[in-house]
């Protein structure tokens, strides 16, 4: 009780006298625990694809997604480019991973139109 005789409300899940955890701290801890932080870092590769691989490769490819096991799915304009990029995969993985802590392990080259799903 307070000096005015009213009861203090206690935050749920907080021991008596403990200060509430800031939302940013709680969210960061949850993201790390759930694995979402790792997935978000890996997903950054998709949005940064053109900068990571350069204009020539970006013109004939589209990064689609990264699977939970670290496989980057990339659409390629033709079989010829898919073969060429398959040979270049180790160098592309080095560029894509850079200084990231969460690594893309494989690239799967999918032949198909670049403007469709």
pLDDT of residue 18: 77
Burial environment of residue 117 by CB neighbours within 10 A (0 to 12, 13 to 18, 19 or more) = exposed
pLDDT of residue 3: 59
Long-range CB pairs of 81-90, under 8 A, 24+ apart, other chains included: 82/109, 82/110, 82/111, 85/57, 85/61, 85/109
CATH class of the 44-111 domain in this structure: alpha beta
pLDDT of residue 103: 85
Q: Is the pTM of this model over 0.75?
A: no
Q: Is 14 helix (H, G, I), strand (E, B) or coil?
A: coil
Local confidence pLDDT in tens for the 117 residues of the chain:
555 666 655 555 666 667 888 888 877 787 677 767 677 777 889 999 999 999 999 999 999 999 988 999 999 999 999 999 999 999 999 999 987 777 899 999 999 999 855
pLDDT of residue 40: 73
- Residue 99 sits at the vertex; the CA angle it makes with 90 and 55, to the nearest 5 degrees, is 60
pLDDT of residue 2: 55
């Amino acid at each position: 009780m307070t000096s005015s005789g009213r009861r203090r409300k206690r935050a749920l899940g907080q021991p008596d006298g403990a200060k509430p955890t800031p939302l940013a701290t709680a969210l960061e801890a949850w993201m790390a625990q759930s694995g979402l932080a790792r997935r978000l870092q890996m997903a950054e590769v998709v949005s940064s694809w053109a900068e990571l691989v350069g204009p020539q490769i970006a013109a004939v490819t589209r990064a689609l997604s990264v699977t939970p096991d670290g496989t980057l799915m990339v659409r390629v304009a033709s079989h010829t480019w898919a073969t060429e990029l398959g040979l270049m995969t180790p160098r592309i993985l080095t560029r894509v991973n850079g200084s990231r802590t969460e690594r893309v392990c494989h690239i799967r080259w999918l032949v198909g139109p670049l403007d469709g799903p």
